[in-house]
């Protein structure tokens, strides 16, 4: 009996797994350390649950601890509550949440313990006291939070799972190849002895901050990343998923606005070194500084005569859609704030509380009169579900910075459950860096994405070209 069939012998699920999902269960469930790298929308939670239940059935785990972004805790709890044991008591589920006094009262004798990343890290001593020495299976959802091996997130998680089985869940491309080292070290620790071994194997250039900027043998790195792991994209497994049409919507800034952009861009370019090469870190800082000028109201003060055309673009798309709903994705919170001020729509960004995010989501999903929601790509790209049932259209008012941002955010609407064709519009202000930003959104089929522009260094001429709307 396969691991998938064994789990179904003991438990009843609300829906059957697809073939690629059951194949992943059969491949990964018997292993101790695994990676499940399914693109967002392909059912990582369901596959990971099957693997975890297999561990419980086989006596390889007494408890399953799932660690995740806080926004996902309620979704995990709702999903697990739908699973029924064919005989005996239902699986027990405890959410580890609330203020310190309340958390002290939460017991650990449960089948599934769900915790946000920050509370897990903050209360790691208690987790060690309560679960240390026991057979624990750990799931880390949205594993990109541990991709930096110098971070406290990585160290805490690494130490906790040292003697436990565990599974990493993610589906978004890694922004830079070096991020793969953390995943490999946790899933197949013998592949590289240490970071120096990894660096010698794959890094060819570093910048002034000693960060890798150029790589070699990425095909070998990808193979190593997939040891004890499964990677699937929508293109691999969902041939019948409705198509996703991506188009570019170009527009011109008001003359006064564009003059401001040119002035600030030239001032920023003067700060770059003369001649020679400009590394990726410097280019990224420049792009973030200029990227905010196109949409953010703060750059114009309170002069009502100066208006960012980007918000007129939102109005035009809404008019085009008639009664249909629209998601507007952004990079910067000030753009979200201006969207909320102008349109009275729900807004989701990092500083919005969990309750406010849930209230905004509920309003957009359930209120037919609420046709618009604005979301930061990072804050809104993870942990929000249901858009695919009410919405088919997305507008990127500011182009995604990385392939990961695009993949995560787009998967809010283009995922399992979507019944209609999805239309994605990338807003591009002509003569600005938004054009080059769109051009460097690279192959999302690979979990390891090239660095920005696929170049370790740019010349001042190339940077200027990109700042004013060209591509390299």
Q: Which residues neighbour 143 within 8 Å (Cβ) at sequence distance 6 or greater?
A: 35, 168, 169, 170, 183
Determine how many CB atoms are found less than 10 A away from the CB of residue 273. 10
User: What's the DSSP call for residue 174?
Assistant: B
Mean pLDDT of the chain: 87
Q: For the whole model, what pTM was predicted?
A: 0.74
Distance CA(403)–CA(172), nearest Å, equals: 8
Q: How far apart are the first and last CA of the chain?
A: 54
Q: In this structure, are residues 23 and 236 in contact, taking their beta carbons and an 8 Å threshold?
A: no
Three-state DSSP state, 60: coil
Would you tell me the crossing angle of helices 180-187 and 152-160 to the nearest 10 degrees? 10
Distance CA(448)–CA(39), nearest Å, equals: 13
Q: In this structure, are residues 313 and 397 in contact, taking their beta carbons and an 8 Å threshold?
A: yes
Tell me what pLDDT residue 254 has.
86
Q: In this structure, are residues 302 and 338 in contact, taking their beta carbons and an 8 Å threshold?
A: no
- Stated length of the chain: 472
Domain boundaries, the chain: 3-237, 244-467
Distance CA(177)–CA(449), nearest Å, equals: 7
Residue 132: φ, ψ to 5°: -60, 135
pLDDT digits (tens, 9 = 90+) for 229-269: 999 888 787 676 788 888 889 999 888 888 888 888 888 78
Q: In this structure, are residues 367 and 381 in contact, taking their beta carbons and an 8 Å threshold?
A: no
Q: In a structure prediction context, what are the per-residue pLDDT tens digits for the chain, which is 472 residues long? A: 999 999 999 999 998 998 999 999 999 999 999 999 998 888 899 999 999 999 999 999 999 999 998 888 988 999 999 999 998 889 999 999 999 999 999 989 999 999 999 999 999 999 999 999 899 999 999 998 999 999 999 999 999 999 999 999 998 767 788 999 999 999 999 999 999 999 999 999 887 777 888 889 999 999 999 999 999 888 787 676 788 888 889 999 888 888 888 888 888 787 776 666 666 667 777 788 888 888 876 666 666 666 788 999 999 999 999 999 999 999 988 899 989 999 999 999 888 887 888 899 899 999 999 999 999 987 766 667 789 899 999 999 998 877 777 877 888 888 878 889 999 999 999 999 888 777 766 444 455 544 333 345 667 777 777 788 765 4
User: What's the DSSP call for residue 411?
Assistant: T
Q: In this structure, are residues 249 and 314 in contact, taking their beta carbons and an 8 Å threshold?
A: no
Q: Do domains 3-237 and 244-467 have the same CATH topology?
A: yes
User: What's the DSSP call for residue 448?
Assistant: B
Distance CA(334)–CA(167), nearest Å, equals: 36
DSSP strands (E only) in 44-189: 63-68, 84-85, 93-96, 112-116, 136-140, 165-169
Tell me what pLDDT residue 442 has.
41
Distinct helix (H) and strand (E) counts, the chain: 20, 19
pLDDT digits (tens, 9 = 90+) for 287-306: 888 888 888 766 666 666 66
Tell me what pLDDT residue 440 has.
63
- Range 244-467 has CATH code 3.40.50.300: yes
Q: Strand 422-429 relative to strand 244-251: parallel, antiparallel, unpaired?
A: parallel
Tell me what pLDDT residue 449 has.
47
Determine how many CB atoms are found less than 10 A away from the CB of residue 275. 8
CATH code given to domain 3-237: 3.40.50.10810
Three-state DSSP state, 275: coil
Q: In this structure, are residues 157 and 150 in contact, taking their beta carbons and an 8 Å threshold?
A: no
**Burial environment of residue 218 by CB neighbours within 10 A (0 to 12, 13 to 18, 19 or more):** middle
HSE, CB side, 13 Å, CA atoms: give it for residue 145. 23
Distance from chain centroid for Cα 99: 27
Distance CA(200)–CA(29), nearest Å, equals: 33
Three-state DSSP state, 469: coil
Distance CA(250)–CA(260), nearest Å, equals: 19
Residue 428: φ, ψ to 5°: -135, 115
Distance CA(375)–CA(16), nearest Å, equals: 32
């Amino acid at each position: 009996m396969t691991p998938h069939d064994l789990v179904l012998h003991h438990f009843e699920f609300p829906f059957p797994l697809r073939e690629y999902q059951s194949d992943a269960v059969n491949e990964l469930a018997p292993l101790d350390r695994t990676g499940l790298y399914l693109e967002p929308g392909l059912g990582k939670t369901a596959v990971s649950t099957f693997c975890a239940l297999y561990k419980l059935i086989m006596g390889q785990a007494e408890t399953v601890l799932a660690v995740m972004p806080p926004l996902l805790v309620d979704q995990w709890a709702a999903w697990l509550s739908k699973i029924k044991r064919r005989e005996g008591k239902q699986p027990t589920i405890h959410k580890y949440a609330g203020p310190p006094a309340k958390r002290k009262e939460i017991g650990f004798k449960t089948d599934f313990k769900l915790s946000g990343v920050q509370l897990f890290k903050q209360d790691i001593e208690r987790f060690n006291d309560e679960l240390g020495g026991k057979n624990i299976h750990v799931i880390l959802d949205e594993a990109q939070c541990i991709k930096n091996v110098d971070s406290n997130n990585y160290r805490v998680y690494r130490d906790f799972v040292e003697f436990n089985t565990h599974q990493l869940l993610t589906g978004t491309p890694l922004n830079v190849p070096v991020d793969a080292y953390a995943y490999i070290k946790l899933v197949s620790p013998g592949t590289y002895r240490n970071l120096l071994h990894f660096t010698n194997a794959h890094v060819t250039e570093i910048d002034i901050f000693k960060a890798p900027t150029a790589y070699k043998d990425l095909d070998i790195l990808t193979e190593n990343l997939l040891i004890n792991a499964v990677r699937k994209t929508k293109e691999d497994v969902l041939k019948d998923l409705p198509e996703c049409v991506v188009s570019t919507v170009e527009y011109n800034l008001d003359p006064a606005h564009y003059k401001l952009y040119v002035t600030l861009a030239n001032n920023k370019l003067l700060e770059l070194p003369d001649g020679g090469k400009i590394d990726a870190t410097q280019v990224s800082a420049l792009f973030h500084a200029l990227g905010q000028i196109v949409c953010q109201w703060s750059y114009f003060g309170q002069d009502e005569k100066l208006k960012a055309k980007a918000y007129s673009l939102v109005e035009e798309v809404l008019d085009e859609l008639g009664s249909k709903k629209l998601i507007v994705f952004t990079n910067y919170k000030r753009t979200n704030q201006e969207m909320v001020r102008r349109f009275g729509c729900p807004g989701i960004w990092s500083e919005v509380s969990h309750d406010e995010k849930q209230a905004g989501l509920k309003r957009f999903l359930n209120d037919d009169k609420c046709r618009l929601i604005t979301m930061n790509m990072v804050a809104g790209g993870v942990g929000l579900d249901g858009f695919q049932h009410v919405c088919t259209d997305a507008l990127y008012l500011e182009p995604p910075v990385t392939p990961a941002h695009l993949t995560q955010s787009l998967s809010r609407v283009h995922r399992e459950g979507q019944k209609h064709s999805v239309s994605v519009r990338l807003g591009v202000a002509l003569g600005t860096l938004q054009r080059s930003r769109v051009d460097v959104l690279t192959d999302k089929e690979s979990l390891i994405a090239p660095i920005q522009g696929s170049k370790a260094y740019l010349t001042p001429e190339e940077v200027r070209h990109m700042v004013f709307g060209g591509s390299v």
